[in-house]
């Protein structure tokens, strides 16, 4: 090979070496200029498939409604920065004293308005929205997030999948152990109800009217979140009315209730402002089978209604209570024992004998 050819070969090799070298330098430069990872934050995807960057450590959380507040309180009340309304005395009775005085910050539900100024003073790391995930929920979460500049995490809170709700919340809030225990409890209760309800003879299903409001003449139709417990345990909701938006509670007439002639009536108790005490004495109601057979029962309530309001994990105990009430031969629970266990595990509260008696009064629970 002559000198000119050798020179060409050497120049070619040199060009290739320089090219690879520059390429390598380019890659190193991209890595160096890329934003370094922040060990104080992490990325999560909520139940609406929305991505959020949130702190690794979370100590302050706010919920847009009471549904999420109950979830937070049961998981770890220390996370809760405020309530969405003024707690009633009957609710305070079963809430630990140190959390009763948390501020009422309002929220974004029904007609409630959030006190944004006070919320931002406390400055929670995240806000949660727990409930049914639909377009309206997503739109609302996006609007709130833009308004306050705090990540709004959507969590599916449907009754049948509350175990998944707790599992997600546990990972979100670094409380996986406790969340796992609460999830396991919910999963077992729901699974048992789904299995037991299938064994009920269709001809023996109990027909039920849910009497809401001060006069007992408001209710919710089949398919409403407010009667999910009834449907889950195998009862028949007699209310044939249109679904009402917001908080529900469709007005009905006494003539409609008389025509439905339910076997059982469930009513708000007197603490909630219900018509319970008058249903059995009001002569207008005496033509109803449930009244004639003295099958009018109070929905236990304290700190929260076991049946529906707010539609959160409080309904899990309601599944056991109502199943046991309507079909005691199938849902064979010792409700005193079950109630003590639930209040201890979920509400961090040891019930006295007197409190237990008060909770189960007029509810048919045993």
Q: Clarify whether residues 182 and 209 are in a common domain.
A: no
Q: Is residue 283 part of a domain?
A: yes
SS3 205: coil
Q: Clarify whether residues 52 and 152 are in a common domain.
A: yes
Where among 155, 171, 193 does a domain terminate?
Answer: 193
Where among 148, 167, 193 does a domain terminate?
Answer: 193
Q: Contact, 157 vs 284, CB < 8 A?
A: no
**Is residue 39 scored above 90 in pLDDT?**
no
Q: What is the mean pLDDT of residues 162-172?
A: 98
Q: Is residue 27 part of a domain?
A: no
Residue-wise pLDDT for 141-151, tens only, equals 999 999 999 99
Q: Clarify whether residues 205 and 185 are in a common domain.
A: no
Q: Is residue 22 part of a domain?
A: no
Q: What confidence score (pLDDT) does residue 366 get? A: 60
HSE, side-chain direction, 13 A CA sphere, residue 218: 14
Q: Clarify whether residues 349 and 229 are in a common domain.
A: yes
Radius of gyration of the chain, Cα coordinates, nearest whole angstrom = 28
SS3 255: helix
Q: What confidence score (pLDDT) does residue 270 get? A: 84
Q: Is residue 148 part of a domain?
A: yes
Residue pointed to by tokens 């008389």: 258
Tokens of 36: 């370094």
Q: Clarify whether residues 127 and 235 are in a common domain.
A: no
**Is residue 289 scored above 80 in pLDDT?**
yes
Percentage helix, strand, coil for the chain under 3-state DSSP, each rounded to 5:
50, 15, 40
Q: Clarify whether residues 111 and 69 are in a common domain.
A: yes
Residue 214 per-residue DSSP state? T
**Is residue 231 scored above 60 in pLDDT?**
yes
In whole numbers, what is the pLDDT of the chain averaged over residues? 91
Task: Give the residue from 250, 263, 336 showing the smallest Cα distance to 300.
Answer: 336
SS3 250: strand
Q: Clarify whether residues 162 and 251 are in a common domain.
A: no
Q: Is residue 93 part of a domain?
A: yes
Q: Is 285 exposed, middle or buried (0-12, 13-18, 19+ CB in 10 A)?
A: buried
**Is residue 304 scored above 70 in pLDDT?**
yes
**In this structure, are strands 264-267 and 296-298 parallel, antiparallel, or unpaired?**
parallel
Tokens of 107: 């929220």
Q: Contact, 84 vs 66, CB < 8 A?
A: yes
Q: What confidence score (pLDDT) does residue 191 get? A: 98
Q: Report the Cα–Cα distance between both ends of the chain, in Å, rounded.
A: 105
Q: Contact, 311 vs 349, CB < 8 A?
A: no
Q: Clarify whether residues 209 and 174 are in a common domain.
A: no
Q: Contact, 126 vs 153, CB < 8 A?
A: yes
Q: Contact, 107 vs 247, CB < 8 A?
A: no
Q: Clarify whether residues 262 and 351 are in a common domain.
A: yes
Q: Clarify whether residues 52 and 187 are in a common domain.
A: yes
Alpha helix segments (H runs only) across 34-95: 66-75, 89-92
Alpha helix segments (H runs only) across 128-275: 135-148, 162-172, 176-197, 228-233, 254-260
Q: Clarify whether residues 204 and 348 are in a common domain.
A: yes
**Is residue 3 scored above 60 in pLDDT?**
no
The residues, any chain, with a CB within 8 Å of residue 343's CB and separated by 6 or more, are 94, 349, 350, 351
CATH at residue 164: 3.40.50.1980
Provide the number of structural domains found in the chain: 2
Residue pointed to by tokens 């010792």: 334
Helices and strands counted in the chain (H then E)? 15, 11
Q: Clarify whether residues 189 and 208 are in a common domain.
A: no
> Residue 328: which domain range?
200-360
Q: Is residue 233 part of a domain?
A: yes
Q: What confidence score (pLDDT) does residue 27 get? A: 36
Strand segments, DSSP code E, in the chain are 41-45, 51-55, 61-63, 126-131, 152-156, 207-211, 218-219, 236-237, 250-251, 264-267, 296-298
Q: Percent of the chain at pLDDT above 70?
A: 90
**How many whole angstroms separate alpha carbon 200 and alpha carbon 198?**
6
Q: Is 178 exposed, middle or buried (0-12, 13-18, 19+ CB in 10 A)?
A: middle
Read off the pTM: 0.88
Q: Is residue 345 part of a domain?
A: yes
The residues, any chain, with a CB within 8 Å of residue 311's CB and separated by 6 or more, are 67, 131, 157, 159, 225, 226, 228
Where among 151, 173, 193 does a domain terminate?
Answer: 193
Q: What confidence score (pLDDT) does residue 6 get? A: 47
Q: Is residue 29 part of a domain?
A: no
Residue pointed to by tokens 């319970």: 276
Residue-wise pLDDT for 41-60, tens only, equals 999 999 999 999 999 999 99
- Lowest mean pLDDT, pick from 85-94, 230-239, 254-263: 85-94
What angle (nearest 5°) sits at the alpha carbon of residue 167, between those of residues 227 and 102? Answer: 75
């Amino acid at each position: 090979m002559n000198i000119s050819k050798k020179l060409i070969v050497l120049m070619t090799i040199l060009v290739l070496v320089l090219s690879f070298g520059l390429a390598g330098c380019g890659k190193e430069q991209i890595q160096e200029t890329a934003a370094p990872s922040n060990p104080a934050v992490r990325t999560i995807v909520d139940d609406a498939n929305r991505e959020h960057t949130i702190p690794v450590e979370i100590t302050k959380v706010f919920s847009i409604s009471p549904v999420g507040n109950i979830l937070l309180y049961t998981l770890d009340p220390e996370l809760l920065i405020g309530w969405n309304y003024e707690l009633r005395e009957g609710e305070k009775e079963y809430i630990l004293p140190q959390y009763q005085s948390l501020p009422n910050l309002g929220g974004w539900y029904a007609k409630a308005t959030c006190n944004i100024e006070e919320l931002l003073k406390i400055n929670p790391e995240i806000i949660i929205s727990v409930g049914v995930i639909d377009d309206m929920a997503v739109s609302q979460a996006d609007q709130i997030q833009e308004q306050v500049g705090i990540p709004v995490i959507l969590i599916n809170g449907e009754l049948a999948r509350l175990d998944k709700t707790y599992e997600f919340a546990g990972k979100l809030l670094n409380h996986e152990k406790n969340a796992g225990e609460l999830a396991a409890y919910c999963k077992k209760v729901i699974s048992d109800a789904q299995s037991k309800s299938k064994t009920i003879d269709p001809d023996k299903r109990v027909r039920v009217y849910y009497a809401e409001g001060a006069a007992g003449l408001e209710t919710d139709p089949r398919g409403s979140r407010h009667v999910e417990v009834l449907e889950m345990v195998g009862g028949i909701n007699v209310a044939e009315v249109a679904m009402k938006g917001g908080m529900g509670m469709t007005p009905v007439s006494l003539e409609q209730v008389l025509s439905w002639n339910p076997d059982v009536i469930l009513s708000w108790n007197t603490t909630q402002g219900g018509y319970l005490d008058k249903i059995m004495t009001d002569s207008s109601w005496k033509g109803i089978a449930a009244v004639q057979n003295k099958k009018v029962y109070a929905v236990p309530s304290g700190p929260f209604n076991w049946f529906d309001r707010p539609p959160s994990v409080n309904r899990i105990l309601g599944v056991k209570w109502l199943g046991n009430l309507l079909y005691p031969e199938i849902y064979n629970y010792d409700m005193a024992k079950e109630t003590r266990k639930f209040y201890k595990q979920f509400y961090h509260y040891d019930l006295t004998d007197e409190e237990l008696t008060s909770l189960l009064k007029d509810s048919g629970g045993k």
